[in-house]
A and B are shown apart, each in its own frame.
Chain A
Amino acid sequence: MDFISILSIFVLACFVGYFVVWSVTPALHTPLMSVTNAISSVIVVGALIAGATAGSDSSKWLGLVAVALASVNIFGGFAVTQRMLAMYKKKDRQG
């Protein structure tokens, strides 16, 4: 991909983000932070490439450490978001 296509994706995604985030209800702002945290760990893609590619041992080990750090975030972030979201309940009809 050339730089301009990447930049286009980026700029459009910023606009998508802007509109999507304004539609998030304020009651869910904490889960919003924890889930954005989990998805920003997509940086694990870079860590996996570094960890899997031969050619430089130091690069490989840096990659592996990054994989571990990002995994904490991915699993922890999604799990804690799920735990929080499970707590949001409506009023009992009979109550």
Chain B
Amino acid sequence: MHTDVIVAIPAWVLLAYLVSGVCFILALRGLSSPESSRRGNRMGMIGMAIAVGTTLITHYPGVTEPGRCAYPNSGACAYPAVDYATLGLIAAAIAIGGGIGLVTARKIQMTAMPQLVAAFHSLVGMAAVLVGAAAYLNPEAFAIGVRITPIASPSFVSIFPVSRIEMGLGVAIGAITFSGSVIAFLKLNGNMSGKPILLPLRHVINLGTLAAILGLIAYFTQDQSPWVFATVTALSFLIGFLLIIPIGGADMPVVISMLNSYSGWAAAAMGFTLHNSAMIITGALVGSSGAILSYIMCRAMNRSFISVIAGGFGGDAVAGGAAAAIDRPYKRGSAEDAAFLMSQADQVIIVPGYGMAVSQAQHALREMGDILKKEGVRVKYAIHPVAGRMPGHMNVLLAEANVPYDEVFELEDINSEFAQTDVAFVIGANDVTNPAAKTDKSSPIYGMPVLDVEKARTVLFVKRSMGGVGYAGVDNELFYRDNTMMLLADAKKMVEEIVKALG
């Protein structure tokens, strides 16, 4: 019954994919410091070029009998003539995609990085779904099936049971990555409210859908009918959507890291299907990278991964003090007051948050820092791990504004310095500075590591108005302290006015 034998993959091909995988490891390794990072990125490009080149050499489109020759230099049809029409189509696909990618990469504003990354994740997910579907429709191309020719009926290809599981998982993870990332993109881009959308019985629906997907993948090993494949794909698109809609804006750093992880697992599952070591190594790297980032983000918010996934955070309006907040007395300052206080200081620590990104204040902020430095003030930046909408978001924005990276410090490296600091300048950050996280056991953010800004002699707090609360929906006791001066204005405008007052 069996007419085709699986062809052995030449050794050099296996080696080339291995080299490509090693290049990707080195690309991530390079990110251990900014100096080596650029070399690392080039290693990544080299690895990708090797993987693509190898594939094009071994799988160039040949004019040949349909369904044969998984590897052209093996067996009956060694080196068939090149099918230039198909090669042209491939080149066109790369040119169109590459062109869009390059233009987007050049034009995108650094503040929009989270949306861009979410959009890119969705593309990886979709590509995984498409590759899975292509492999399902033409298993012989991927050497994952056996052609069976029953006596009285037309021949068909039976996909190996292991490959069916790998394919099913790959498509499912890919589809979840796609629809989840689309929702994340819409929320980050402001097309959709950042507020969590809570369906009744959502946990039951989600768990039921997940169980159905896994059950169908198991059934897929017995029956490779199209409806099984299609249902797995459709349910996976649905669950990706359902998983992300209940998650609020403040949890986006976790979501985006998690989707990063999923896109890796999708690539790894496809690597299993295609027996490709470059894809498996990369998938494992990306999968663990996203998982570690999710862990770091959860730890920085003192929340469990499960509670983030369950969603709903940032939705329930307010705990305790907010109603009283409106009447509590606070000190309000002007740009001139702020300029005076900072120019008299020995050390100023600037604490940026998402609000800085929203009002694009980073350039004005760097200008302010430059003037202060000229006047002999030491200026440092303190970054909370979850400041912004994705891991490292603030660091990129400050780097964009030409702030040297050795003036930018992480929470644990700088937190002890606030006590010896004259002015802490909080701009666009809120929850990450809230002392309630250390003292108030009833606060929803209790236990979250925060920046000890209140220990500085004076806290300047730039905020649009007194009304709004942070994303966690809690009032910040810091506003009403004796050593806090509120600077109520748009972040960028306020900083520009301070610059003017300093100059």
Contacts and interface: CB of A to CB of B under 8 A. Distances in A.
Contacts of B408: 27
Given A46-B135, A69-B126, A71-B97, A35 B399 contact: no
B45 interface: yes
Contacts of B96: 68, 71
Contact of A95 (B121, B276, B373, B396): B373
B198 interface: no
A45 B52 contact: yes
Interface in B1-53: 9, 14, 20-21, 24-25, 27-29, 31-34, 37-38, 40-41, 44-45, 47-48, 51-52
B282 interface: yes
Contacts of B273: 46
Contact of A84 (B52, B110, B263, B290): B110
Interface string B369-385: 00001000000000101
A35 B93 contact: no
Q: Looking at chain B, what size class is its interface with the partner chain?
A: 35 or more
- Listed residue (B64, B127, B141, B282) with the most chain A CB atoms within 10 angstroms of its CB: B127
B405 interface: yes
Interface in A43-95: 43-56, 58-60, 62-92, 95
B154 to A, nearest CB: 15
A59 B141 contact: yes
Given A10-B272, A42-B51, A88-B399, A78 B124 contact: no
B34 to A, nearest CB: 4
Interface in B127-156: 127-128, 130-131, 133-135, 137-138, 140-142
A30 B373 contact: no
Contacts of A38: 44, 48
Contacts of B94: 67-68, 71
A44 B288 contact: no
B138 A59 contact: yes
- Listed residue (A21, A33, A71) with the most chain B CB atoms within 10 angstroms of its CB: A33
B194 to A, nearest CB: 19
B392 interface: yes
B33 to A, nearest CB: 6
Interface residues of A, number: 83
Contacts of A69: 97, 123, 126-127, 130
A87 to B, nearest CB: 4
Given A42-B267, A76-B100, A84-B110, A37 B93 contact: no
B116 A41 contact: no
B128 to A, nearest CB: 6
Given A48-B55, A70-B97, A43 B131 contact: yes
Contact of A18 (B34, B128, B263, B292): B292
Q: At the interface, is chain B mostly helix, strand, loop or mixed?
A: helix
Nearest to A53: B141
Nearest to B129: A66
Given A54-B83, A71-B93, A42 B24 contact: yes
Given A39-B44, A53-B141, A89-B404, A32 B28 contact: yes
A30 to B, nearest CB: 4
Interface stretch (B101-109, B241-249, B415-423, B478-486): B101-109
Contacts of A6: 271-272, 275, 277, 280
B395 A27 contact: yes
B270 interface: yes
Nearest to A81: B41
Interface in B72-95: 83, 86-87, 89-90, 93-95
Contacts of B393: 30
B282 A21 contact: no
B501 to A, nearest CB: 23
Contacts of A47: 127, 130-131, 134
B2 to A, nearest CB: 18
A12 B404 CA distance: 37
Given A28-B395, A50-B131, 6 more contacts: A32-B293, A32-B392, A40-B283, A46-B135, A88-B399, A89-B402
Interface of B: 9, 14, 20-21, 24-25, 27-29, 31-34, 37-38, 40-41, 44-45, 47-48, 51-52, 55-56, 59-62, 64, 66-67, 83, 86-87, 89-90, 93-102, 104-106, 108, 110, 113, 116-117, 120-121, 123-124, 126-128, 130-131, 133-135, 137-138, 140-142, 162, 256-257, 260, 263-264, 266-268, 270-290, 292-293, 296, 373, 383, 385, 390-393, 395-396, 399-400, 402, 404-408, 410
